[in-house]
Structure 1
Amino acid sequence: MDTRKQAQNPHHCRICLVRHGETLWNAERRLQGHLDVPLNEVGLVQAEATARSLAEHRFAAIYASDLTRALQTAAPTARACRLEARPTPALRERHYGAFQGLTYAEAADRYPDAYHRFKAREPEFSFPGGGESLLVFAARIGSVLTDLAGRHRGEQILVVTHGGVLDIAHRLASRLPLEAPRDFPILNAALNWLDYDGEDWHLLAWAEQHHLESARDELPNA
């Protein structure tokens, strides 16, 4: 899909969604949530590769989660496109409560009942320690993406965010229920393209990784 040449419908917004580059905690399969973990060396290389891949695309704006790993991923593309990445707290990852900072194995060992409900994708389950339910998280992400698309009708924007956010975005476009197991990849620094027509989301392309030597998908429900 050549988004550089494809004209925009004046009522539509096209969004390129990018999961942040790799972090040490991704490699360790450790839940990050709202904890502020920077990119590792692989992630920094991925961010530069993403910038080279997107340098010739025309973006009206760049938005990023305000967590360091997303801002670091957005920074090279923002420089290449001569734009400023706008920190947007509503684009943060799901809040995992007491699971944050634990590996998936540690979370399963310490909170077996809660982990079972997490793996089962129960929409109303909230993590112990103040975490978000899928229903609350999905409402937050649906609202911020729809708001950004409404601001940029007839334009194309870049959104740099987190794996859980991409999960919700794909489900919005594919109509896959929150509780259904994930059947699509969510790769660090890959390109994912959606279109919003003012009423519905449409999936244009997903998990483009031609610019990457490798990309990790360590998330559950893969």
Structure 2
Amino acid sequence: MNITRFCLVRHGETDWNVARRLQGHTDIDLNTHGVKQAQQMAKALKRINLQFDVLYTSDLVRAAKTAKAIEEIFGVDAITTEALRERHLGALQGLTIIDAPNLEPELWNIHLSRNLEHDLRGGESIKRFAERIHRGLETIRMQHLGKTILLVSHGSAIEMMYRLASNQALEAERTVSVPNASLNWISHDGSSWKVDRWADTSHLASLALDNVDL
């Protein structure tokens, strides 16, 4: 059986994560704690002697800088791609989850309802986001069949990968968390996806924040 394995890593903490502010495509850097989380994660991968064949990362700085910690410890170069970006949240980007219901009540309710077609005024609909993530994941898988792929991305993007691997409907309520700098494992045996392990933060010195981008 030719199994392709993915270790999915969410980026380290940002100041917007702390403020519970919706990031989407906004290019926010890691904060000091996030840099430490990235280093702890990379050291943990080295400690367990993870044998991976290729490293991919989203091009947004919070993911690319998290991947940089892996690059430095393992002496590899990451392949950067826009396909692994977070969902573009349109007019909700930049708002906190406290302010959004007051400033954009209609849009916030649409967002919470998981309307599959709405683009949140200039963003990505859930349907288009899912198609982008699934297409990106399949492209990587087909290029590295039977290999182990380390992939650094974002909370909602990784949660979408969970939906793919577990056959969870797009309109279903979110059931898993994706903490900052967590390790999440999925695999494909040539015919179907499978979730192997999820939301491992045992390598971090303190609790990590869950994603709020739904």
Shorter-chain TM-score tier: over 0.9
Give runs of aligned pairs for residues 26-37 of structure 1, distance below 5 A: 26-37=17-28
Match of 2:75 among 63, 76, 82: 82
Retained in 1: the 8 A contact 2:180–2:211? no
Equivalent residues in 2 for 1:41-190 (5 A)?
41-55=32-46, 56-128=49-121, 130-190=122-182
What secondary structure sits across from 1:44 in the alignment? Answer: helix
Q: Which moved more, 1:56-65 or 1:212-221?
A: 212-221
Code of the residue aligned with 2:37 in structure 1: it is: Q
Aligned counterparts of 1:83 and 1:218: Cα–Cα separation in 2: 28
CA drift at 1:12: 2.2
Residue range with higher mean Cα deviation, 34-43 or 191-200? 191-200
Contact conserved, 2:117 with 2:125, CA < 8 A, in 1? yes
> Is 2:24 the partner of 1:24?
no
| SS at 1:31 equivalent | coil
Q: CA offsets per residue over residues 163-203 of structure 1, 9 Å max, x none?
A: 11111011111111111111111100010000012332110
- Contact 2:156-2:211 within 8 A present in 1 as well: no
Task: Give the whole-Å Cα distance in 2 for the aligned partners of 1:48 and 1:17.
Answer: 16
Alignment match of 1:206 (pick from 194, 198, 202)? 198
Matched, 1:197 2:189: yes
- Name the structure 2 match of 1:5: none
RMSD across aligned positions (CA): 1.2
Q: Distance in 2 between matches of 1:157 and 1:148?
A: 8
Report the AA paired with residue 138 of structure 1: A
TM-score by length of 1: 0.92
Cα distance in 2 for residues equivalent to 1:36 and 1:220: 14
Distance 1:90 1:220, change over 3 A: closer
Distance 2:207 2:107 in 1: 32
Indicate the SS of the match to 1:104: coil
Q: Deviations over 1:12-34 (max 9, x none)?
A: 21000011000000000111111
Q: Are 1:28 and 1:103, in contact at CA under 8 Å, matched by a contact in 2?
A: yes
Structure 2: segments with no counterpart, 5+ residues: none
Q: 2:106 corresponds to which letter in structure 1?
A: D
- Whether the 8 Å CA contact 1:62–1:85 is kept in 2: the answer is yes
Corresponding pairs, count? 211
